[in-house]
């Protein structure tokens, strides 16, 4: 099915703590009207898309089919900035750019510790970052042309990244006139 939208949909993904929400909030506030931040963890809660709760890792297991059904109408509108550590559930026809954030392990450790994660959950996430799990999911799920990797170790990098993504959006919009 051919999708027509006049604002791109962007996924900002990466290991928990790498800065997805910070990037998404800042990007949406820079882009302004027509763009909306979808924090999938919050949205899954709001729209009751959970299958179960994993006590060992203190996390919810999301019902991905239900979540996707719920989110598809929003994505068809365009202008979605999707913030989640899983990216490959969203069909390629609905996604224009996948940004994979990468963070050094020492910075990631500090952020997750500060967030109050239990040791096993911190270790699981550090392993995930070292093994490039999210990056591999992104390149396996989407054509390479739409996947970019950006480092997110400092506030300066965060600001640069948001400026770069915003410049990309401007070009995309020019290339997709209404
Ligand atoms: P995520 O949504 O990937 O879990 P977050 O945006 O909530 O991550 O950020 C986790 C913490 O790290 C938060 O206190 C903000 C901080 N942070 C995020 N990106 C950063 C960056 N590039 N440089 C410094 N701190 C950053």
Ligand 1 atom at minimal distance to the Cα of residue 16: 4
Residue whose CA is closest, atom 20 of ligand 1?
Answer: 19
Please give the annotated binding residues, written as ranges. Answer: 17, 19-22, 115
Interstrand relation of 50-54 and 59-62 (parallel, antiparallel or unpaired):
antiparallel
What pLDDT, on a 0 to 100 scale, did the predictor assign at position 176?
94
| Helix, strand, coil % over all residues of the chain, rounded to 5 | 50, 20, 30
Please give the annotated binding residues for ATP, written as ranges. Answer: 17, 19-22, 115
pTM for this prediction: 0.95
What pLDDT, on a 0 to 100 scale, did the predictor assign at position 87?
79
Centroid of ligand 1 to alpha carbon of 2 (angstroms) = 36
What pLDDT, on a 0 to 100 scale, did the predictor assign at position 2?
60
All domains of the chain in start order, with CATH: 10-40+75-169 (3.40.50.300)
Tens place of pLDDT per residue across the chain (178 aa): 567 899 999 999 999 999 999 999 999 999 999 999 999 989 998 999 988 777 776 677 899 999 999 999 999 999 999 999 987 889 999 999 999 999 999 999 999 999 999 999 999 999 999 999 999 999 999 999 999 999 999 999 999 999 999 999 999 999 999 8
Pairwise CA distance, residues 170 & 30, whole Å: 11
What pLDDT, on a 0 to 100 scale, did the predictor assign at position 69?
94
Centroid of ligand 1 to alpha carbon of 20 (angstroms) = 7
**Residues 6 or more apart from 137 whose CB is under 8 A from it?**
13, 86, 87, 88
Q: Note the ipTM here.
A: 0.99
């Amino acid at each position: 099915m051919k999708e027509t939208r006049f604002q791109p949909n962007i996924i900002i993904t990466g290991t928990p703590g790498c800065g997805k929400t910070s990037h998404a909030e800042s990007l949406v506030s820079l882009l302004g009207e027509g763009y909306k931040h979808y924090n999938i963890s919050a949205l899954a809660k709001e729209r009751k898309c959970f299958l179960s709760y994993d006590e060992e890792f203190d996390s919810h297991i999301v019902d991905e089919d239900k979540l996707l059904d719920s989110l598809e109408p929003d994505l068809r509108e365009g202008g979605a900035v999707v913030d989640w550590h899983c990216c490959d559930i969203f069909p390629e026809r609905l996604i224009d750019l996948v940004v994979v954030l990468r963070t050094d392990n020492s910075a990631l450790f500090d952020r997750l510790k500060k967030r109050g994660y239990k040791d096993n959950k911190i270790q699981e996430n550090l392993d995930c970052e070292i093994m490039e799990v999210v990056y591999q999911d992104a390149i396996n799920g989407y054509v390479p042309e739409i996947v970019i990797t950006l480092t997110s170790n400092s506030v300066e990098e965060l600001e640069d990244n948001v400026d770069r993504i915003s410049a990309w959006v401007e070009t995309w919009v020019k290339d997709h006139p209404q």
